[in-house]
Amino acid sequence: MNTTDSIISSIVDWFYQNWLSLVLIIISAAIIYVLYKILIRYIDSLREKEKIGQNANFIWKRIIKWLSIFAIIGTLVSQLNIDLTYTIAILAAAAGTIIGFASINTIGNAIAGIIIMTSRPFKIGDRLLIQNEFVDVVSVELIYTRFKTLDNVLLSIPNQELLKTGILDYGKRNAVRRHCRITVGYQEAREDVERILLDASVKIKGVLENPKPYVWLTKLSDFGAEYTLYVFTNQVRSIDRFDADLYLTVFDDFGAEYILYVFTNQVRSIDRFDADLYRTVFDACKKN
């Protein structure tokens, strides 16, 4: 019982001796919290007015948050006269040991994160193609960059690995080119095939009028001619749905015209010279 009374008496004496410091700590914490909220709202207002980007908005919020935490800790230490000499020495030794083991990956990822934040190869909300998979940028952090896949799965990639990865940035509303390749028998007139493809492009939601859709003869195979319809769209956030509508519309329009066709998944680059060459050869063969 005497021990319990002694502990309670010590606690009461400590509160009695430090009540003014505790009041100042509470007031300081409240002021810091209010300033934190004001600064966060100000940063959000700058974002709404588009004076800063989403990346900058995210980074400034993190900086303000940690500065507020350090300010509260500093107030607590100064008001209670806490001697942190030994604590800092122990923490420094422990930190040195931890950094020694983890410096290769952690510091490398942190440096890579700073490079990504400053160079801004992409922005938060952009649609990217990484390792043949479409993802949306969620956040750029010091160690990881987080993405969300089309399956609504959160994907975290270490920044150091991200710098080594080839990335295609489709942006948010950038005009990108999409295509649909078909192979049609040589008995079909080239003009008819091109007309059907161009008519199909008009029916597809999201196709831009400028640049205009166009058709190239991209390959002459043993059993047919390959035609490629090129269209432009800025619906990058729903690019998979757009591609599906593109293929479906072309499929239905060719079926309505009773033209035999075969879809091919062959991917090859083609320039304007080759397209003109194939068309000239095709037209010459048709005349003969």
Residue 266 has pLDDT above 50, yes or no: no
If asked whether residues 64 and 162 sit together in one domain, one would say: no
If asked whether residues 163 and 185 sit together in one domain, one would say: no
Per-residue pLDDT, averaged over 208-224, amounts to 86
At 67, the pLDDT band (50, 70, 90 cuts) reads: confident
Residue 54, number of CB atoms within 10 A of its CB: 16
If asked whether residues 278 and 180 sit together in one domain, one would say: yes
Number of structural domains (the chain) is 3
Residues contacting residue 43 through CB under 8 Å, at least 6 positions apart = 52, 57, 60, 61, 64
pLDDT attached to residue 283: 67
Domain limits at 279?
176-287
What's the whole-number average pLDDT of the chain? 79
pLDDT attached to residue 230: 93
If asked whether residues 214 and 280 sit together in one domain, one would say: yes
Q: How far apart are CA 39 and CA 61, in angstroms?
A: 8
> Mind listing the pLDDT tens digit for each residue in 34-64?
998 998 888 888 888 777 777 778 888 888 8
If asked whether residues 72 and 114 sit together in one domain, one would say: yes
pLDDT attached to residue 250: 87
Residues contacting residue 101 through CB under 8 Å, at least 6 positions apart = none
> Mind listing the pLDDT tens digit for each residue in 100-155?
665 667 777 788 888 888 888 888 888 888 888 888 899 888 888 999 888 888 88
